[in-house]
Amino acid sequence: MKLTEKEIEIVELLEKNARLPIETMAKMLSLPVSEVEHMIKKLEEAKVIVQYATIVDWRKVDGHEGVTAMIDVKVTPKRGVGFDEVAERIYRFPEVKSVYLMSGAYDLSVVIEGRSMSEIAHFVSEKLSTLDSVISTTTHFILKKYKHDGTVFEQGDQDRRIVVAP
């Protein structure tokens, strides 16, 4: 879909701040409010704007820290569908937040969230690695999030104390 310059500007504004009032966008773009509303509706219907998301710093919510892992997955692609079929089977698991086809040593990168490391280990051993096309997995646990989707997370005093032993 070919976008106009104004439509691209709207998408960029919403990508930075999905809560930006339409009236403010209209002023910034020198357009009538009704035209901005129409453009946004058109972009939503065309699935250019897929979803409005919130970035949450769960470290600040007691009892909701959770664990995030990035899993490198090597798979055997299937004739006629390549990696798409196994990627679809993986992204249908509710624990899975993202799946990417990658270049390099592994084929897929899978991001999952769980309440504990053992919950993620259970997912990998009982659900992911048992899929027919999966050859191997390597799991990386995220220890600290500094920046996510362009948003820098606040670095408090307690966060600065993370030290990795030699």
For residue range 1-16, list pLDDT tens digits in order.
899 999 999 999 998 8
Question: How distant, in Å, are the alpha carbons of 43, 87, 140, 141, 147 from that of 18?
Answer: 14, 29, 31, 29, 18
Whether 71 and 118 share a structural domain = yes
Whether 88 and 116 share a structural domain = yes
The Cβ of residue 85 has, within 10 Å, a number of other Cβ atoms equal to 15
Amino acid at 59: R
Residue 148 forms part of a structural domain: no
Helix (H, G, I), strand (E, B) or coil at 73: strand
For residue range 143-166, list pLDDT tens digits in order.
888 888 777 877 765 544 454 555
In this structure, what CATH number is given to the domain that contains residue 79?
A: 3.30.70.920
The Cβ of residue 102 has, within 10 Å, a number of other Cβ atoms equal to 13
Whether 29 and 82 share a structural domain = no
Region 110-132 average pLDDT: 93
Place of tokens 């990386």: 140
Share of the chain above pLDDT 70, in %: 89
Whether 69 and 119 share a structural domain = yes
Whether 42 and 67 share a structural domain = no
Whether 129 and 75 share a structural domain = yes
Amino acid at 158: Q
Q: Which domain holds residue 115?
A: 63-143
Residue 56 forms part of a structural domain: no
Whether 77 and 42 share a structural domain = no
The pLDDT of residue 79 is 87
Whether 72 and 40 share a structural domain = no
